[in-house]
Chain A
Amino acid sequence: MPESIIAQMAVSGALMGLVYALIAYGFQLTFATSKSLNFGQGELVMVSAFFSLTLLTLGLPYLLVVPAGLLFGAAVGMAVERTGVRLALEQRSEGWILLTIIIGLFLFSFAENIWGRDDRPFPTPIPSTPFHVFGVDVTPLEISVLVGVLAVMGMIELFKRQTLLGKAVEAVAADRDAAELMGISATRTVVLSYALSGGVAALAGILVSPITTVGPTMASALVLKAFSVAVVAGLESGFGVVVIGLFLGALESLASFYLGSGWREAPGLILLILALAVRPTGVFGKAVIRKV
């Protein structure tokens, strides 16, 4: 039954793609407010996963590990902003690119020294015994990815639309100087966006760890694909990253099934190259609305 196999492949792949979407969404959050992003985001995902794994092995219940991991990711995100981004932005330089890469390398060796180089399983109470829906097998673990990703993205989007603080974030994204004139501190808004971005990345790590295992290199491929998704979807559309993430995840899964597992990484890279060549603002990137 090739159709059912295709469907099965597409569904599992698409759920993985949601993790790319979540990390891509984290890129969008900081890019919107500061036109900068953390090139060490993969390492942030990874140390947050290790941190959460440590809490789990210490016996903390999963339901407490998740918020603790999120807070840890947010704190690391704020530290990245403080040490790698803020000075460069104040001097209007592109120094944040190099600095965030260096912070990522530092986190990488930090993790190797503290937790070792081996990949470790991430014991989660969420079962991975599949059940059947619409002719496809899905596991509760995969459902947890779906729910986790959509819930946290939905909450952040609600925050941006329904609270004045969220609107202030949008205002800084639209016009930093004008926002300052309203009494909104652009610096603090950028810190907030890095905290949210770090929390989101940590959640991606926690959700994906039971599937991929935890190790120093666990997020390097992940973050590259998240970057493709962000570029293809445009650096401003939250809806776009979900669509493109689902699509890329499904495509990869099918590519590795039909062409061999060596082809798994190809669609992400091809998509990225095409997007950069054809539409540098992204498929879902809006043209700037301004009328004089």
Chain B
Amino acid sequence: MLVVKSLHAGYGLSEVLVGTSLEVKAGTVVALIGANGAGKTTTMRAISGLLRPSKGEVILDGTPVQGLEASRIAQMGLAHSPEGRKVFGPLSTEDNLLLGAYRRLPHLVGFHAKAAPDLERVYDLFPRLKERRSQQAGTLSGGEQQMLAIGRALMAQPKVMLLDEPSMGLAPVIVQEVFRTIARLKAEGMTMLLVEQFARAALDVADYAYVMERGRIAIEGTPAELRRDERVVTAYLG
């Protein structure tokens, strides 16, 4: 569903990604783990088009998308829930969700009715968002904002979802809730690329995993294989 081939990207003159390759098969969850600054966020930004790759390929459902505007790539079915959540602070919770479905909805009238089933589905997944539907997103708690960021990505009915550190800065109870949600989405057949600091939890939910070091993939394998790998155990699971 998503194939990344020897991707190069960076900021200004400094190259961060030096030939990253990975693949996310349809219906699977793939974990991308690695130390802080390894280039995980940069990888996601280069896939979704927020950052223009200087070399390499990104293939979404058979179509090369590298170099396209982020909005084009999103319209083609890639949803990226970015690091730091990035909800639209001044807009209401529900408006944030509606904008998540922007690519599928009429832009002037009738969008609310058309989005109703999807809204119900997200509210069913996160009942707290329903309680807060008319509250400004910027005033939600960190955990609620994370649920909103995931819910907003789901609204697009994407082919692939990128989740960048959904547990960052959250209380342990909320982190558990986030991982339960990811497991539930996986059970529903969602294709996901997941970046996580909590490597253990990420491996528990993933079908396959990549370990990133200094801008390239250093180790890859099934979660069972990585758990047996001494380098992985000492560096990330210790």
Contact = CB atoms under 8 A, between A and B. Distances in A.
Nearest to B109: A163
Interface stretch (B85-93, B177-185, B199-207): B85-93
B117 to A, nearest CB: 16
Contacts of B10: none
Interface string B91-117: 100010011101101111101000000
B120 interface: no
Contacts of A119: none
Interface string A203-223: 000000000000000000000
A179 B69 CA distance: 12
Interface stretch (B14-22, B53-61, B70-78, B210-218): B70-78
B138 A163 contact: no
Nearest to B107: A165
Given A165-B108, A181-B70, A171 B145 contact: no
A240 to B, nearest CB: 15
Contacts of B223: none
A178 to B, nearest CB: 4
A180 B145 contact: no
Contact of B74 (A175, A180, A290, A292): A180
A175 B74 CA distance: 16
B108 A164 contact: yes
B102 A182 contact: yes
Q: How large is the interface on A (under 10, 10 to 19, 20 to 34, 35 or more residues)?
A: 20 to 34
Nearest to B77: A183
Nearest to A181: B80
Contact of A174 (B88, B109, B140, B142): B88
B81 to A, nearest CB: 8
A170 B107 contact: no
A180 B70 contact: yes
A183 B102 contact: yes
A175 B98 contact: no
A170 B71 contact: no
B136 interface: yes
18 contacts: A164-B106, A164-B108, A174-B88, A178-B86, A178-B88, A179-B71, A180-B74, A181-B48, A181-B70, A181-B74, A181-B82, A183-B75, A184-B99, A185-B71, A291-B138, A291-B142, A291-B145, A292-B142
Pairs A-B, 3 closest by C-beta atoms: A289-B138, A183-B74, A180-B70
